[in-house]
Amino acid sequence: MNIFEQRKEKEMRIAQSMSKVKFLLAIGSGKGGVGKSTIAANIAISLAKLGFKVGLADVDIYGPSIPTLFNIENEEVVGQEIDGKLHFQPIEKFGVKLMSIGFFVDPSKALMWRGPMASNTLIQMLSDTLWGELDYLIFDMPPGTGDIQLTLSHDFNLSGAVFVSTPQQLAISDVRRAVNMFKNESVNVPILGLVENMAYFVTNDLPNNKYYLFGKGGTEKFAKELDIEVLEQIPISEEISETNDSGNPISLIVDSLESNSFLSLARKINDKLVEINK
Ligand code: ADP
């Protein structure tokens, strides 16, 4: 197969695997450790709670954390041969179909991969998974703006992207660079907005008093500068950290400050995508 035929074949494979997926949503960040996977997992669960069919693909090759967040680290991915080709069944938990690069590669080895090798592996995993019919397929992207992010954004015709940042990371140019990458005309993915994670802190006895530990107002200013909207502010919370560690994301809890914030975020994302695709 020559290089053009290979490209055509790859495009066909992607189109076929995504043919029953309505919206492809990327969750990105400038740097790692800002809570991108936490936000992706909770958006996925919240959208499922709203009645949507949801898949979550962990393509964060440098730190796949979806298996931990959903406590499925010891699950085995089941292969299924269709027309002589091996496909994978996603693992279903909390109403979400899950697949992670963490099931296939050792992150310490993935770090040494070069761009094309990593993106080809990710594309293969995404297109060989039997996602079936979905309203949402959410990509937990690798942080930053490397080749992998560029290739995935380009090849998968994303419906929209959401950025996650903490107040401390906002001023740093990585976030700006990440937003600009998606805005770039060769990628041209609609930016739905910014989620400010660890934005404030509340105590249990005074739930209406928000303490903005890292300052208030900086996010709005930054978002305005980049011409994007602040979709939601998520508090820094012991419950989020604990539920993450136990593999039961906070959105499973009914009617808490945090789970309501994620539900509101999921609604806004859906409204925006419906509006854009009207
Ligand atoms: P990323 O995907 O950006 O690398 P993670 O979602 O893995 O970030 O989160 C990094 C760490 O911060 C994890 O230990 C997670 O439990 C914790 N964390 C994320 N968001 C919050 C929050 N709002 N409150 C408390 N801890 C959080």
Ligand 1 atom closest to residue 41's alpha carbon, by position in its atom list = 6
Question: Measuring from atom 4 of ligand 1, which residue has the nearest CA?
Answer: 33
Strands of the chain, DSSP E: 21-29, 54-58, 78-82, 85-89, 91-93, 96-100, 134-140, 160-165, 191-196, 201-203, 206-211, 230-233
pTM confidence score? 0.95
Using CA atoms, how far residue 45 sits from 5, 112, 242, in Å, is 39, 32, 17
Question: In the CATH hierarchy, which top-level class contains the domain 3-276?
Answer: alpha beta
The pLDDT of residue 171: 63
The pLDDT of residue 7: 86
Residues with CB under 6 A from ligand 1: 29, 32-38, 63, 65, 197-198, 234, 236-237, 240-241, 244
Splitting the chain (278 residues) into consecutive groups of 10 residues, what average pLDDT does each group show? 87 93 96 95 98 97 93 93 93 97 81 78 94 97 89 91 87 81 84 94 83 80 89 94 96 93 98 95
- What is the rounded CA–CA span in Å between residue 117 and residue 133? 28
User: 193: CA distance to ligand 1 center in Å?
Assistant: 19
User: 186: CA distance to ligand 1 center in Å?
Assistant: 31
User: 37: CA distance to ligand 1 center in Å?
Assistant: 7
